[in-house]
Amino acid sequence: MTRYEGRVAIITGAASGIGRATTLRLASEGATVIALDLDAAGLEGMRGEATGNVITRACDVTKADECRAAIDFAVTEGGRLDVLGNIAGIARGEHFAEVTEAAYRQMMAVNVDGYFFMAQAAIPHLLENNGVIVNVASNAGLIGQAYTVVYCMTKGAVVQLTKALAMEYLKQPLRVVGIAPGGVDTGLLRNYQMPADVDFDLVMRYTGARGMAKPDDMANLFAFLASDEARNIHGTVVSSDGGMTAG
């Protein structure tokens, strides 16, 4: 497929998991992808597997100036900007009462500030091309989950960023959509640890009955949502969670 021929996308969190799969997928469909991550070595490993045009750049999305510089870089390298994929994120299992101020601020910075800074810098360029923002939220932004209160707060913010931006740009040539994955087999989930003394009855409520998804499941959905085939989808957060949030 060449749905993305001539298009330029910028993807955060591109060194691993969902961001990596999405970068490889869009590039394979003809996009020039500007791939951002804190993990420069991981970016190079990913680029080694790309079948299309992937340009890597180290970027800490918690820093507004780095986000703006990355968007400028993308427009300079690609000549235009069509797609922003806000994907970089972190998660932790923790007792609410034990969350430190530093841990709280770090999760807010990556999962919320990063999405905000990238969107604000990208929008003027996206407006020139009927562009699209795809924000990766989570099932944790749609339902409450024990021992991940701060993560749930950040993902709820991503859901509302998606909807509120969609309303503000309702009459302008920009689409804003979201993806709410359930469990996906990535580094984030593999390294995820719960405190030893949690009540597993509470945790079991949000483990999927159908097993974990693969990063490619999310990349497939992303590639559809950011394409012209999804031109009527605006302000929607699409769940891909094996029914986890259905009832």
Catalytic (active-site) positions: 151
- 3-state DSSP assignment of residue 233: coil
Q: Does 216 bind ligand NAD (CB under 6 A)?
A: no
**What is the token pair recorded at 176?**
């804003």
- Nearest-angstrom CA–CA distance, 49 and 116: 30
Q: Does 56 bind ligand NAD (CB under 6 A)?
A: no
Which member of 10, 24, 81, 110 binds ligand NAD (CB under 6 A)?
110
Span from 24-32, 36-44, 170-178, 219-227 in contact with ligand NAD (CB under 6 A): 36-44
Q: Does 178 bind ligand NAD (CB under 6 A)?
A: no
Count of residues engaged in binding ligand NAD, rule: CB under 6 A: 30
Which member of 88, 118, 119, 150 binds ligand NAD (CB under 6 A)?
88
Q: Does 184 bind ligand NAD (CB under 6 A)?
A: yes
DSSP labels, 162-191: HHHHHHHTTTSSEEEEEEEE--B-SHHHHT
Instruction: Name the region of 53 (left: φ>0; alpha: ψ -120 to 50; beta: rest).
Output: beta
Q: Does 237 bind ligand NAD (CB under 6 A)?
A: no
- 3-state DSSP assignment of residue 224: helix
**What is the token pair recorded at 24?**
């490889």
DSSP labels, 63-100: -HHHHHHHHHHHHHHHSS--EEEE---------GGG--
Which member of 29, 37, 94, 217 binds ligand NAD (CB under 6 A)?
37
Which member of 81, 136, 221, 226 binds ligand NAD (CB under 6 A)?
136
Give residues in contact with ligand NAD (CB under 6 A): 12-13, 15-19, 37-39, 42, 59-62, 87-91, 110, 136, 138, 181, 183-184, 186-189
